[in-house]
Structure 1
Amino acid sequence: MPPTARRRCTPPPWRRPRKSRACTAPASRPMNGSVEPSPVPMETTSLNGIASPASDTTALTNAASRTLDRDDFLLMLVTQLQNQDPLNPLQGHEFAAQLAQFSSVEQLTNINEAIKGSQEANNLLAQSINSGVAAGLIGKEIDALGNELGWIGEPVRLGFELPRAAASVEVQILDDTGKTVRTFDLGKEAGGLIDLTWDGTDGNGNVQPNGRYTFEVTAVDASGEAIGIDNTYTRGTVDRISFSSEGIRLWIDDLPVSMSSVLTVRNPS
C-alpha cells in the first residue's frame, strides 16, 4: 500500500506567531534524559583579553585614572593573566609589550626615588652651608634691606640709596603706631648711598622707649618732582643667629633680618 502523502497545514493568520517574538530553542537533552537549563546571558566587556562583568568597568576606569606605581602595575598584569579569556588569550607580542611597559614604570620609579634622594641631600647640604655662613657673620657689621629699626638704647644706623641729585631730602622715624617721632631734614643731596644715625630721641630730645621703629624717605628734585628711593637698609653688628621654620635669622640691635636681605658684610669700624 503506497504511503499516504502528508499535507502541510498552514495555521490561520490569527494563530501565526508574530515576527517580533523571538523563538526559543528547545533545551538540549543529554543522554541521561535530564534537561540542562539554558545559560543565563551575561553582558561582558573585555580589556586586553580580560573578560569581566560590565559592572567592573567603573572600577577599572577608576584604577586606570590613578597614578600607578610599580606594585600596582605588576598586580594588574598578574590579574590580567589569571582572568584572560581562554578563547582569546593574550598573545606573545602583547605580553612582551606589557613587560616592556612594566620595565619602563620600574625605571621611572627608580629615577624618581633617586631624584628625591638627591634633592634631600642638596637641601641638607644647603642648610649646612647656610648655617656655617650665618655663624661666621656673628660679630660682623652688615647692611640689611628693609626700613625697620631696633632701638635698644644704642645709636641706630640706617641708610638709603638716592638714584639722582635731590633738592630736598627728608627722613621720618615712626613708632609702631605710625606716629612720627623724629624728622631729619637733610636738604640737598647729590645722590648715591646716604647714611644716617638716630640716637633714639624725638625732636625735643626725649628718649623714646625701646622697641621696633620704621623710617620713610621723601626726596624731590629742583622742579619739585618726587624721586623714588631705590633701597632702604639698616646697619648693625650681628650679635646672634636663630633657626626657625622661616629659615635663619641674623640679629642686629634686637632686630631679626633674613640671610637673603643682607647687602654688605664688613668688619666693625
Structure 2
Amino acid sequence: MNSVNTTNETASASKAASSAKNNQSLTQEDFFSLLSAQLSMQDPSNPVDNDQMIAQMASFSTVDGIGKLNDQIVNLNTVMTSSQALQASGLVGQKVLVPAGAGYLSAEDNAIKGVISTPSPVPSIKVSVTDEAGQVVKTFTVDGSAGGNVDMSWDGTDNSGKPMASGIYNISANATIDGEAQDLAVSTYGHVSSVSLNSSSGAVLNVRGIGGVRLADVLAVTEA
C-alpha cells in the first residue's frame, strides 16, 4: 500500500515538474504537489525541518504575490495609456504651449506667439527671430517689468516690415539681469496636428513645426 502511494506521489511530482518545465512557471498546485512528494519521501530519521518548510512556503507565496502584482501593474499601465490617448485626442486641432524655442509660421496665423520666462522683473527683453538658415530676420523688445511669464508675439514680418514665408523659425530671448546678460527660456504655441502612442512615453502630440511632444510637457492649451 505504501509502495503504491509512493509511486503515485512520485508520478504526481514528475507531472508537476514536467508542467512547470513546459510552462516555464511554477503554479501553486505544482508547488504543493512537489512539497507533498518531498514530505512523503523524506528520511524518517531525518525529517524536513519545520523552519525550512515554512521558509519554502513563504518564498513561493512571495514570488506568487510579486507575479500577480506585476500583472496588475501591466493592466494599470494599459488603462493609463488608453486614458492618455483619449485625453490627447481631444487636443487635435488645438494649440498648445510647449517648452520649445521654435515655432511654425503659417499662412493662416501670420504670427508666432509664446511665453518668455524671466526670474525677475526687467525693463525690457530682447527677442531675436532666426530662419532655418540661421539668419536673423527680426529683433524686437518686450516689456519684462512684470517678471515671471511674459507674453511674446512675433507678427511674421522682418526688420523692414516685409512678411516672411511660412516655415519654422527659432525664437530666442535675453535680458540684462543683475548687470549680466542672460538667455531666457522661451515657450511657443504650436498647432496639434495628430497624436501618436509611444510604448515608452505614452501619448505624444505631433505639433506642427516642432515635432513630437509628450503630453506631460504641455504647459497650456488655447483655442486654435
The TM-score with structure 1 as length reference comes to: 0.57
Tell me the equivalent position of 2:158.
Answer: 202
Q: Is the 8 A contact 1:159 1:194 kept in 2?
A: yes
> Does residue 162 of the first structure (1) align with residue 111 of the second (2)?
no
Separation of aligned partners in 2, 1:236 and 1:192 = 21
Gaps in structure 2 of 5+ consecutive residues: 1-24
Q: Is the 8 A contact 1:163 1:228 kept in 2?
A: no
Gaps in structure 1 of 5+ consecutive residues: 1-68
> Does residue 174 of the first structure (1) align with residue 127 of the second (2)?
no
Tell me the equivalent position of 1:224.
Answer: 179
Q: Is the 8 A contact 1:156 1:197 kept in 2?
A: yes
Q: Is the 8 A contact 1:170 1:217 kept in 2?
A: yes
Q: Partner letter of residue 91 of structure 1?
A: N
> Does residue 189 of the first structure (1) align with residue 189 of the second (2)?
no
Q: Is the 8 A contact 1:168 1:219 kept in 2?
A: yes
> What is the DSSP-based 3-state SS (H/G/I as helix, E as strand, rest coil) of the residue aligned with 1:190?
coil
Q: Partner letter of residue 151 of structure 1?
A: L
User: Could you tell me which of 245, 248, 256 is aligned with 2:203?
Assistant: 248
Change (3 A) 1:188 1:105: closer
| Deviation at residue 254 of structure 1 after TM alignment | 3.9
More strand by share: 2
Task: Render the CA deviation track for 1:190-249: whole Å, top value 9, x for unaligned.
Answer: 32332222244432445555443322111114x6333563x4211244343223344322
The TM-score with structure 2 as length reference comes to: 0.67
Q: Partner letter of residue 79 of structure 2?
A: L
Structure label with greater radius of gyration:
1
Task: Render the CA deviation track for 1:83-108: whole Å, top value 9, x for unaligned.
Answer: x9x8xx872252x3332232122201
Task: Render the CA deviation track for 1:158-190: whole Å, top value 9, x for unaligned.
Answer: 221223221331011233454433222336633
Change (3 A) 1:206 1:90: farther
Counting aligned pairs with the same residue, the percent is 24
Task: Render the CA deviation track for 1:133-181: whole Å, top value 9, x for unaligned.
Answer: 1112234343222222123333221221223221331011233454433
Tell me the equivalent position of 2:84.
Answer: 130
> What is the DSSP-based 3-state SS (H/G/I as helix, E as strand, rest coil) of the residue aligned with 1:186?
strand
| Deviation at residue 126 of structure 1 after TM alignment | 0.8
| Deviation at residue 130 of structure 1 after TM alignment | 0.6
Separation of aligned partners in 2, 1:109 and 1:93 = 22
> What is the DSSP-based 3-state SS (H/G/I as helix, E as strand, rest coil) of the residue aligned with 2:159?
coil
User: Could you tell me which of 112, 134, 158 is aligned with 2:66?
Assistant: 112
Task: Render the CA deviation track for 1:104-123: whole Å, top value 9, x for unaligned.
Answer: 22201211111111110110
Structure with more contact order per residue of length (Cα contacts < 8 Å, sep ≥ 6): 2
